[in-house]
Amino acid sequence: MERDGPTALERFLNGILPENPTYRQLLGMCPTLAVTGAMQPALTMVGATAFVLIASNVMTSLLRGLLKPHLRILVFTLTIATFVTIADRFLAAYMYSMSKQLGPYVPLIIVNCIIISRAEICASKQGVGVAVADGVGMSLGFGLGLASIATVREILGSGTWFGLRVLPTSWVGWGIMVLPPGAFVTLGMLIGAVEWASRVQPHTGIWRTARSLWSWRRLASSS
């Protein structure tokens, strides 16, 4: 076992909310803005990124004893580029229309900073188990980030969610939400909301009530 560094469970949980790639680390902004016009492309992007992230974490962790400090970034990039190309070819072979819809953003996973940062921060320093947990946690966090933005944009922009109509047909889609400005506006609003929620958390009634409910057993026993 590794002597230092966070445990697998800590790595896994950190990726989901406390160090969420989208809202906390603000990494991987290019796909976050580009493919969140609807849920289907957003989740396909999450799936492809998760595959590359977990595979590159495993590979980097296995190679960590052989890495030379000045050549490590080169090894990370080679590894990531290989898995991205595999993901890209796989999408083109089995999900052709989605592959065309995502266009250049699948090859661009190579430059997604979430992946290289996890190789640098976690996988090149810790064992395979921790690296996998880290990759899965970060992928879930990235998925939450993209899904939240895509939900807002698809519902307001097209009145649908996953291509299924959720708002009445009388709803006129806000075209701007599907266009790039909608991505920036939604991302900014959601980052603001997450920031606000985490700051006011200890002081507001709603959060205190939620926390009380969470530990109602303890409260009941103490009173």
Considering only CA atoms, give the Rg of the chain: 20
Please give the Cα distance from 160 to 153 (Å, whole number): 9
By CB under 8 A, which span of 3-11, 64-72, 121-129, 190-198 interacts with other proteins?
Answer: 64-72
Residue with tokens 């974490």: 57
Tokens matching residue 204 = 């507001």
Q: Which is nearer to other proteins, 126 or 158 (CB)?
A: 158
Q: How far is the CB of 153 from other proteins (least distance, A)?
A: 11
Pairing assessment for the beta strands 164-165 and 160-161 based on DSSP bridges: antiparallel
Among 75, 102, 122, 187, binds other proteins (CB under 8 A): 75
By CB under 8 A, which span of 20-28, 39-47, 71-79, 117-125 interacts with other proteins?
Answer: 71-79
Closest CA to 178 of 46, 44, 33: 33
Closest CA to 134 of 46, 10, 32, 27: 10
Among 173, 185, 190, 207, binds other proteins (CB under 8 A): 173
Binding site for other proteins (CB under 8 A): 37, 63, 66-68, 71, 74-75, 78-79, 81-82, 85-86, 89-90, 92-94, 96, 100, 103, 157, 173, 175, 178-179
